[in-house]
Structure 1
Amino acid sequence: MSIFKIKQWWSNKKLLDDNNNEGFQNANSIKVERFDCHSDSDTIIVGDGSIIRIYKPYVEQNASNIIIESQLNDIILQVGTGKFTMDAHDRQIIVLHPKSFAVYCLDRKEGHIDLGDQNSLRSVIKHSFTRRACSLIAGPFGSSKSRDYICIQYLDGSLCFFDQDTFLFMCIYNDIIIPGPVCYVPSSDLFLICKSTWILETYSYQQLGEFSELSVKTGKKNIPQWTYNPGEEILSLQVIRTSSNFSSIIALGERHLYCFQDNGLMKYMIRFDYVPTCFHAYLIGWYYEPNSRLLIMVASEDSKLNVYESSTLLWSCDLLDKAISLSRCYVRNLSGGVVSLSVNGIVNIGYLGTEPDLNASGANMHEVVDPEQIQNELKDVEESLEMILGSKEDANEGSSTIEKILHIKVDIGKPVNSNYKFSNDQELNTSSVVTILTCEEPNLIESIQITYNYHEPIVCTENTICLENINGTEIIETGVYIDGDMDVYDTRVSIVFTVIDSTGKISIISKEVQLPVSLFCSPVDAVPKNNAILSVICNQSFDVADIFSDFTKEELNNYVTSNSITFAYRTSNKTVTIKAVEKSYVFEADDYCDIYPIFVCFLYHFNNHCIRHDIKDIQANIEITADLNRNVTMRFLKCIENHAKQRNLLKTYENELNILQKQFTLVQKRLLVQYGSVPPGDCASLEFLMRDTHERIVNVAKQTLVHKNNVCSAGNSLCAVGHLVIYILKQMAPDDFKVKLIEEMLSLDTISKQFQEWEESVFQASSYFIKNVLKKSDKDNEKLAPVTDQDILSNNNLKKFIKQIRIILERVFKDVTGKEAITRIEELVEVI
């Protein structure tokens, strides 16, 4: 069976916060529905945390796809639709919370002139209950013609029925330990309930009402109309009307898909050779037509979408992400769109845009393209680009206007000691970043958002500060400190000011502050021997103690010997020695990763010292030698290897943790079946296996956290040496454009604690650089081409990646010096 890509038509922004690592697991938090007030296309209702969003996708890129976003008072468990009041002309939205449900009407008010339409949610019904809710079922129970009723399934498995906000009755089940899927069949007025014993039971609405009180008083059991034991857990259920007399019930299990008639007759069963995650059934044609077709879409664990008709696989394609919910929608210019909700909280609308070639021996059909149509499309693109360029110029003008009325001053205070200490008995220091905002005309500014960007282990007490009312002068103070034992890489804090003026225009202003050396370092006694050496040549000499003004002379007197001083990082106790020899400063450490942060601080304080003493025509350049180039480049390649090695180890532990989690869930399900059976089965072996699995999960989770920290530390070392390589190239290379291309290719500033996929992005950029800038031959490009069916961190691809970086640096150094500045580096790097 051929595999085809599903074409993406529309996608929303990420719903989840970047710091939320748990993923989007609630498949009931999305609903596709068409309202009378938006009858031209379907809308997509999404519950994200306590926020409800309603999307109406458009083809036009400049149109807003979201029509309303509302903050509710509680977490949203499920969203649904129906007609829940007598006078309802349009379908209403019902939202289930842990201890309540609410019904809303979507109102639309057409705007005048350029104001646009206004959408709002009007509350109709609110009802609270004492038990914890799990899911919601709505429908015309009892063959109601006037409105829909509401059924709430609680966490104990009991079903509670409501007419609007009026309680009707409750059904309690003793054989439900964990609530399962429940669905309602309108054509036959039946409820299908999944028990904890993996048994499907069907009851009529009249049965549930009659036996609700009788079972409590007499202890009699309600006898189902028909049952079925699939022998596995049922993940989800769906009912669809397929004929004038019957409806079809589709049940998705862990390895099978079952299709029943509502009278209990099984129509067919499909056994999967993959792990399904969700499904959606839909009908082509009307149910009363004899030629109508029932199709079922099933999403798999490996992000595949399979379309079945009966037990025949019609289609197989790739999804963009792992889906936890599927649906169909009809929007403008697109009939039959495929809606998927991913674990990352992203809603995608796609369509099966390619037609599979069922006749492989037939001739290929090519679509005839009109040249005039292509020319018109190119003209539209050019006009759009001109509009974008014009908007950028307007934005620059707006930024200059904001900078004239808003004056920003950023300063950092001297570190102070706190009571907290690291494991190596180093004291934790804290500095204060003070920002002074002075606005000459506060009425012209609506709000200001201040964002602090930093790299671990540096941490700010506040990440984002929002100011809505500016009163002339605002003083904001934020603490900065070192957290953890990770190596220091970037000693700066970048502050981004997002200013919104009274007209709604947004301006961005960036500031940067250098952290004091005393915040992350302390003077110590000299270290006798170091392996890495970096020399900086100046045309004038200064006292080392005068340059580092963060420390007082009394603090440095005991450690300055022969005009040299040694600093130790507070997080790792690694040392860096600075020696002043005539008009040069020599940096010595065990690794170039340790030299770079102190080197950057030295240049910053060196320039400030010259400015304070009005010293001009001062130059400070690195003394570049062939040994320095070779050693720094070799260390950079070793850092790439170590970073990839740590990422591979982390991936191994994450995969093991995923397997153990699935194993624990499976054992738990088997144990529940044993508990729920009559009489209960022997559970000793399953209990032992569950405890053992839980213990392994805890241990692997701890190792995963340790290796996450190792990956971040390796990323910091990679960035430090990489920036040092770029600094040397900027000083050496006369071709600034080529060095700028290398700096953009490496993209070292993209590495952060949340993003460590550096090798994937740089691999393609380095291939392009070799092919187009260095202009290697086709034979060389073929040797360095990645293996497409392997991961970038695989042994073969990693070797080629390191070789690409080595070739680029060799070529650049050779162009500058005219000779081979780097020799036999590939033999010094041992690839994993």
Structure 2
Amino acid sequence: MSLFKTRDWWSRSVGEEEEFDQGCLCLGNIDNDTNGLDKIIIGSFQGILRIYNPNPSNANSVEDVILEHAFKQPILQLEVGKFSSASESQKLAILHPRKLAVFNVSVLSGTVEHGSQYQLSLLYEHNLQRTAFNFCYGPFGGVKGKDFICVQSMDGTVSIFEQESFAFTRFLPGALLPGPIRYMPRLDSFVTATSSWKVEAYRYQVLAVASETAGREETQNIKSGKKIAVDWSFNIGEQALDLVYVDYPPAQPFIIVLGEHTVFHLTDNGMLKTAKKLEYDPSCVLPYASLRENKVNYLVGAHTKSLLVYEDTTLKWMAKTEFVPVQLRIGNFSGLKAGIVGLSDSGHLEVMYLGTDPSVFTPPQVEAREINFAAMEAEMAKLMKHVKAKSTNSVITPSVKPEDDLSIYVHVNPNLDEVSMASGMDYQDEDGVPSTTVRIQMKSRLPLENVKLEITCPWPLGCTQSEFMIQRIDPGSPSETFVAVFQRYKGLPSHLYVHISGTFTSAAGGRCVIVTKANLPTKLFLKPVFPVKNAVHKITIDTNRPPVNLNDIFPDMLGQNEGGQGSALGFQFLGGGPVVSLLASKTSQRYRLQSDQLEAIWLPLRELVGRLNNHLKKGQGDFRVSFDGALPLQEYFELIDFHFDLRQSNLQYRELLSQRAAQFRTIQKRLLTRFKDKTPAPLQNLDTLLEGTYRQILALADAVEENSQAERLAANNLSSATYLLNILLKLWLDMSDEEFKVLEATLSPIVSSSEDQGWEETVDASITHLLRTVMAKSAKDQAVNPSPLTPPEDTSKVKKHIALFCDRLGKGARLVEGLKENKEKVVKKHSSSSLVEQSEIIEDKTPVDEMLKGKHKSGQKKKRDKTLGLPQRDQPFSENSLLMKEEDDYKAKSRLKSLVPDLDVLTKDMDDMDDNSSRTNDEDDSHEIVYSL
């Protein structure tokens, strides 16, 4: 960044909504005035030609415009030169897309009140057969006192015009896109930059004689020609933005090539002199003569609004500008010699010079006043408090949110579709698979184009279409999209929502993403059935209100239970899933949920708690739902073990598959070597090994696929069980919403399928962090090292930490700092074999000696039998349990061996085959196996 700025000598804002680029600016004594001062000539893509005679003393900017003319075609480039055969004075050449015109600018003195009148008269013009891109001029062929013009078209052809006459048109070899082109008088050659990132030179004489129309008149409309030999070529390795031929004696002539990231100095015969790597994006380059011998200076304009001065490869000066120049020129004006003229793409025209005049600022004198130190300290304290508040709430990202440009509104139909839109399911349900329609409305503050709408459904959900591309959204006409959501795969739903995201390009040009959720109705996954009397797992919750009729809180999920007493309901998951029975006690304020599958209880429990709150909070008083039973940690730990075992099996299967694949490739190489050998050698049972390995690879691939599906199902069950445990912990401890968010972030119900950072190690690290921070009892607990995020060998640590975590919560620990500790909870252990007779919950008489905390109901302390976790669920290891565990391990290993048979046994079986087959047939069969694979 420079400390200096360019000094503005004269500036104008040209036109309104006009565009300019390289070639739209030139300087010269176009009116052939005797004082030799330059005039500024600019032309826009809108076809407006303007000629300025800058004079800072003119208060009226209109007087600086000496000529303005509107053409019907865009102006691509304009130059001043000796383009007329009748005169050696300066003429103006203007290039249009399909025309090259040469004009004369004349002056009629005293014809108007304020001064002279300038006229623009056409001398001649050439209609072009091809769309033009740019042109260069010079004394082609060594002619004296004249300038010829070379026009380059969009297809890479060059057309030579010798003033009023057309000379010839030639194809440049390998031209795909046009580039900058210049004429080198010393070698009588053209130098241009090609689309292949090369700088090439062609001699004028070679172009002139490369004609296939000998004896016939040259024409622009050619379709073929002789291949033109390149004089020299140099690969610069990047796109050339501009190139300039520099000839300031006594220095040797050379070429400056401005690339996207580098400035190259080439000799006129194609040799590299120097290369300067740029740390910015350049926009234009302009050389000028140096006072030092054999030195050439040049200016480089940058997109950082900077102007940099180089001497060879050394940076000599840098100054800030008010705009990004697309073209620079140096001219002599009245009162300013060698002024720098810059033009921006939006039409900001400025004549400037480099200087170091400082902006003089004299601070005003202030009145002396008596200093009040007490008031100063109070004000300082107030300001420091304000600064501290701002620093803690500082926002690094821009304050403009994506929601300001696009808003997504989602409406889920609470009723199921009359005609289900479900399709592509991998299961069947006797009552059909229902679906619900989700209406997605997108509103924009500004016009947006190409908005991508994505609907992400967590397993086992699915939708009719997951991606939409909205071509345009206007502020007055929002876009509406309808999609049907249903359960596509068989399994327990662990999430009752779908993610909806919209991706678009904001007004600032950046990519923005807006994400929202759509909660789905419970009856999309559950259907009403008759309740089941016996069940393995039971959860009982208490309330402080009399029990309500279940028909009143589940009016939409009665089904076959409609018209009943309202004390028992049954729900079954789709696809023949587990049945969850909901029972309401007649004599107590309790509700029981029971099922043969623990993780299936979470969804009916969540729905029951939500509907009870909505139903009973309408009246007076404080309604509360609580849980005083035993936490099902033992069953929860079994789900963790099962999920972890599948993860380990997945790693083993993949490792074995990798080994067998490497073995298969090795055997293939050896067989191919035997087959290519001119002297046949025995195969030594390599064909048998190849076939056996191939069978093992197929078996292992099937095992990996089956294990992956089982792991995904186990992860889904673990996620559902985690939801259930979190809900029970919230009801057990009467957690606030803030604490429950911390609980779900710690004991996360989102089970990822990552092999490097799985659910077990992530949850273990989160719980360990809480145990050593907000839940720490002493400094010793805070000194515990955090758990590394590496795959564990077993689940003993994570189960131990989860049990300790629940134990600390039961003893009153809080998950958020600054909250008052809870009272210790007394938890009874209910028997799992209790039955329900006539909708009445029968309480078992288990003594209260195994509880989470060491206290009786009376408040007296009782010595605990166990020191860690939840004692009522800790089971001692017996000999039978160890034998059962060893038997399970033996079964798992036997299954793994069955998938990967022993190669020795396989080889022996293959050797016992029919010995009547000849060796030739064996070789042919082996050859067929190798190449068929």
Q: What is the TM-score with the length of structure 1 in the denominator?
A: 0.47
Between structures 1 and 2, the one with greater helix share: 1
Which protein, 1 or 2, shows the higher relative CO under an 8 Å CA cutoff with sep ≥ 6?
1
Q: Which has the larger radius of gyration?
A: 2
